[in-house]
Structure 1
Amino acid sequence: MSSHDATLEFDYETASRAELVAESVGREIGEIDDERSRTTIEREGARVHIEIDADDVIALRAALNTWFSLIDVAERTADVGAAVLESQ
């Protein structure tokens, strides 16, 4: 079977924000992966780098949807947390 892959890169205003997002979604590595797709995540400074490798395009699309959703939730949660800290 042919392999399909995608690279996602997310840039943040600070390295600490990137670390927070990477740690939040990084917990899902291994939990979401299955026999059809595998994912790695790395953080370099203020950038989060996600690499997805899938056996077929359907598995790749499913993995992309999942990781975009997880990143979105992590970013929104970090925004709420930052707003709460600012208001104190």
Structure 2
Amino acid sequence: MPAFVHEATFAFDYDSPERARTVERSVRQEVGEIDGDRSTAVVDRDGPTVTVTVEAADPVALRASINTWLSLVDVAEQVSA
């Protein structure tokens, strides 16, 4: 497995811990399901803040993974609104 040398972290702040929990639970279920040989992600929550950290072996894989995870968060936000 290649080393994940590229990383991006995104923090999403919500109006309540409950909404953050809903988004986090929706997105977290994809961790491990869509990771590949070239990228991985971690989803965490601290109160009203959800953090998504994406790691990848190369810039192309990082960009693709970022697009995927930001889309997942966007859908979770829309559904929880």
- TM-score norm. by structure 1 comes to 0.86
Higher helix share: 1
Aligned position for 1:58? 60
> Which of 9, 13, 22 is matched with 1:7 structurally?
9
Structure 2: which 5+ residue stretches go unaligned? Answer: none
Q: Deviations over 1:40-74 (max 9, x none)?
A: 11000000011111000000000100011001100
Structure 1: which 5+ residue stretches go unaligned? Answer: 80-88
Larger Rg over CA atoms:
1
Task: Say whether residues 1:26 and 2:28 are aligned partners.
Answer: yes
RMSD: 1.1
Give the letter aligned to residue 9 of structure 1: A
Q: Any runs of at least 4 consecutive aligned residues in structure 1 with deviations exceeding 4 A, and if so which?
A: none
